[in-house]
Structure 1
Amino acid sequence: MGKRKRWPGHFVIPYASMLLMISAGQVYALSAPDDEVVLKLGESYERVRAHSRSTLPPFEPGKSFATVERPARFRFDDPKYGFAAPAAQYLLVSFHNKTSEVEAVTLSPQVKDLPLDEAMAIIQDLQRQLQRGGWVPFKHTYSRPIQDTSEARRWIRACENPTSYWNGGNQYQLSLNLRCSDSTAKGKVTPSGYVISIDLGRPWISDQPDE
Structure 2
Amino acid sequence: MSLMHRVGWRRGLVVLAVTVLLTVVVIQLLSGEPEITLVIGEPYETMRQRSTASIDPAIPGHSWFNTPKSDARLRFADPQFGFVTPLARFFTVGFGRDQRIDGVRMSPQIEPLLLDDTLKVVLDLQEQWRKAGWIPIRVNDFPSFADTPQWRAQLRDVNKGGKTYWHAGDQYQVMLVVNRFKDYKHPTEERYLIKLSLATPWTNP
CA deviation after TM superposition for structure 1 residue 63, in Å: 4.8
- The correspondence of residues 44-83 of structure 1 with structure 2, limited to 5 A, is 44-61=43-60, 62-83=62-83
Instruction: Tell me the TM-score normalized by structure 2.
Output: 0.78
Give the number of the structure whose residues are more often helix, by fraction: 2
Which one-letter code corresponds to 2:151 in the other structure?
A
Which one-letter code corresponds to 1:68 in the other structure?
P
> 8 Å contact 2:114–2:189 — kept in the other structure?
no
Unaligned runs of 5+ in 2: 1-31
Aligned to 1:111: 110
Instruction: Give the 3 Å change call, closer, same or farther, for CA 70–126 of structure 1 in structure 2.
Output: same
CA deviation after TM superposition for structure 1 residue 58, in Å: 1.8
> 8 Å contact 1:156–1:162 — kept in the other structure?
yes
- Percent identical pairs in the alignment equals 33
Q: Distance in 2 between matches of 1:176 and 1:40?
A: 18
Q: Distance in 2 between matches of 1:60 and 1:139?
A: 36
Q: Distance in 2 between matches of 1:163 and 1:114?
A: 17
Identify the structure with bigger relative contact order (alpha carbons < 8 Å, sequence gap 6+): 1
Instruction: Give the 3 Å change call, closer, same or farther, for CA 164–191 of structure 1 in structure 2.
Output: farther
Deviations 1:82-125 (A, max 9, x none): 000000001101111x3210011111110011000001000000
Q: Distance in 1 between matches of 2:145 and 2:37?
A: 26
Which one-letter code corresponds to 2:115 in the other structure?
L
> 8 Å contact 1:55–1:70 — kept in the other structure?
yes
Q: Distance in 2 between matches of 1:114 and 1:125?
A: 15
CA deviation after TM superposition for structure 1 residue 56, in Å: 1.1
Aligned to 1:149: 148
Aligned to 1:193: 191
SS class of match (1:112): coil
Q: Distance in 1 between matches of 2:99 and 2:57?
A: 11
SS class of match (2:87): strand
Deviations 1:155-193 (A, max 9, x none): 00002121110010011111111111239xxxxxx7641
> 8 Å contact 1:142–1:163 — kept in the other structure?
no
SS class of match (2:40): coil
How many pairs align? 170
Which one-letter code corresponds to 1:94 in the other structure?
G
- The correspondence of residues 93-112 of structure 1 with structure 2, limited to 5 A, is 93-96=93-96, 98-112=97-111
> 8 Å contact 1:55–1:68 — kept in the other structure?
yes
Aligned to 1:166: 166
SS class of match (2:152): helix
Which one-letter code corresponds to 1:179 in the other structure?
N
